[in-house]
Chains A and B, each alone.
Chain A
């Protein structure tokens, strides 16, 4: 119970910070809409709708990267992370709280991105939304841990996409498959498996990322 209260407090802190400073979410929203507009010019006339669906996943992935690269900015610049690590709570609560707030950012960004996609390109169906929801969990889980890693390195933001993209390939396969294939169930299954496996390993190993 105590653990959940810690997680809630940490997630609330991030959302409150965002509400006051508004430095991540507007950037994500603007980026995802700009990316969709760019994609209109990327697709030559006569391209299939399926290609546009594939590009939607590119847009979502890079929007997530944009948000993740700022995820630990306040912690790093203001030295908050040392305080959090010293706090008498389980360190994995830091990861879970941050992952939940990232998940909320992603969901809000997609609340704009998916209708915009439907408006500009093609209709979206339930399995696509389901795929996006499952993919968000995986992106938030893995991305948060990698963002903490990148924040600890000298290269900082530069490193995050390099660490994240190879790990995101199964997410892309699952997401694109769920959006375009005739049998989306197995792709949703892949996303679910990915989420479960990586959430467990991130939860268990976050402590080692922030402590020495």
Chain B
């Protein structure tokens, strides 16, 4: 990678994220038509892209964990941790936006029949345990290994939990809950895609920003040790 692209990637990404987010907000409020749900439905354009981004972060964290274990790639541990950290932040946002949506759609802040919410609650607990594990092991190769193995568990847990939560509804809520998912019109779908792209670029920006900071921190510590 040339020096220019390395030095300018972050500002470029940040600009892209800013533009896309502004465009998505403008599209959501001025372009996408209202459906029968009225204004409440607008949160869909935030909730679902945020959930996708969280999945993306967890998957990326799992991938980096695999790279660490498999190839012993330098720095993969840090990248995996930063991705999962970001995933947890987006996961909490998914829970919050989902909860608000549930409140206005079904009248309750929490609905156990909403698969996505329950799954994110499980994942939230799982990744909180990841942090507990990570911070109760002294920094070093062992911490990197343990974190990576647990992060890989998460990647397997997501599909298994989706299946389990689907199945659990059959004995917890015998009546199938028909959410009547909105059949998206073309303009709604376009808005949704822009919103997704905005969230992805925002996550990518934050990921790179966090990595730059963490790497700088590490470099500083190394230099300080070298000086002593």
Identify the A interface with B (CB < 8 A): 142, 145, 149, 152-155, 159, 162-163, 165-167, 169-170, 173-174, 176-177, 180-181, 186-187, 190, 193-194, 197-198, 201, 205, 208-209, 211-212
> Judging by beta carbons under 8 Å apart, are A163 and B133 in contact?
yes
> Judging by beta carbons under 8 Å apart, are B133 and A166 in contact?
no
Q: Given A149-B149, A177-B170, A201-B153, are A169 and B129 also a contact pair (CB < 8 Å)?
A: no
Whole-angstrom distance between the alpha carbons of A205 and B137 in the complex?
18
Q: Given A149-B150, A208-B145, A208-B149, are A190 and B167 also a contact pair (CB < 8 Å)?
A: yes
Chain B residues with CB under 8 Å of A198's CB are 153, 156
Q: Which of B34-42, B44-52, B157-165, B205-213 contacts A (4 or more CB under 8 A)?
A: B157-165
How close is B174's CB to chain A, nearest CB, in angstroms? 10
- Among A162, A170, A205, contact of B161 (Cβ-Cβ < 8 Å): A170
- Among B129, B142, B145, B148, contact of A166 (Cβ-Cβ < 8 Å): B129
Among A155, A166, A212, find the residue whose CB has the most chain B CB atoms closer than 10 A.
A166
Chain A residues with CB under 8 Å of B138's CB are 154
> Judging by beta carbons under 8 Å apart, are A152 and B152 in contact?
no
Chain A residues with CB under 8 Å of B3's CB are none
> Judging by beta carbons under 8 Å apart, are A177 and B141 in contact?
no
Does B126 lie at the interface of the complex (its beta carbon under 8 Å from any beta carbon of A)?
yes
Whole-angstrom distance between the alpha carbons of A162 and B133 in the complex?
9
> Judging by beta carbons under 8 Å apart, are B129 and A163 in contact?
yes
Whole-angstrom distance between the alpha carbons of A142 and B153 in the complex?
10
Which residues B107-163 have CB closer than 8 A to chain A? 122-123, 125-126, 128-129, 132-133, 136-138, 140-142, 145-146, 148-150, 152-153, 156-157, 160-161, 163
Chain A residues with CB under 8 Å of B165's CB are 173
How close is A114's CB to chain B, nearest CB, in angstroms? 21
> Judging by beta carbons under 8 Å apart, are A159 and B156 in contact?
no
Which residues B56-76 have CB closer than 8 A to chain A? 69
Cβ contacts B188-202/A at 8 Å (1 or 0 each): 000000000000000
> Judging by beta carbons under 8 Å apart, are B152 and A167 in contact?
no
Among A153, A159, A181, A187, find the residue whose CB has the most chain B CB atoms closer than 10 A.
A153
- The contact sample of 19 A-B pairs, CB cut-off 8 A, is A149-B150, A152-B137, A153-B133, A154-B138, A159-B133, A163-B150, A170-B161, A170-B163, A173-B165, A174-B164, A174-B167, A177-B170, A181-B171, A205-B149, A205-B152, A208-B69, A208-B145, A209-B145, A212-B142
Q: Given A208-B145, A211-B145, A212-B145, are A159 and B150 also a contact pair (CB < 8 Å)?
A: no
Whole-angstrom distance between the alpha carbons of A16 and B125 in the complex?
37
Does B19 lie at the interface of the complex (its beta carbon under 8 Å from any beta carbon of A)?
no
How close is A36's CB to chain B, nearest CB, in angstroms? 22
How close is A206's CB to chain B, nearest CB, in angstroms? 8
Q: Given A152-B142, A154-B136, A198-B156, are A166 and B171 also a contact pair (CB < 8 Å)?
A: no
Chain B residues with CB under 8 Å of A193's CB are 160, 163
Whole-angstrom distance between the alpha carbons of A186 and B150 in the complex?
27
> Judging by beta carbons under 8 Å apart, are B163 and A155 in contact?
no
Whole-angstrom distance between the alpha carbons of A187 and B170 in the complex?
11
Whole-angstrom distance between the alpha carbons of A193 and B164 in the complex?
11
Whole-angstrom distance between the alpha carbons of A212 and B148 in the complex?
12
Does B187 lie at the interface of the complex (its beta carbon under 8 Å from any beta carbon of A)?
no
Q: Given A153-B133, A170-B161, are A201 and B156 also a contact pair (CB < 8 Å)?
A: yes
Does B15 lie at the interface of the complex (its beta carbon under 8 Å from any beta carbon of A)?
no
Closest to B132 in A: A162
> Judging by beta carbons under 8 Å apart, are B160 and A194 in contact?
yes
Known: A197-B160, A198-B153, A201-B152. 4 other contacts (CB 8 A): A153-B137, A155-B136, A177-B167, A201-B156
Chain A residues with CB under 8 Å of B164's CB are 169-170, 173-174, 190
Whole-angstrom distance between the alpha carbons of A93 and B125 in the complex?
30
Chain A residues with CB under 8 Å of B128's CB are 162
Whole-angstrom distance between the alpha carbons of A55 and B209 in the complex?
47
Whole-angstrom distance between the alpha carbons of A68 and B215 in the complex?
38
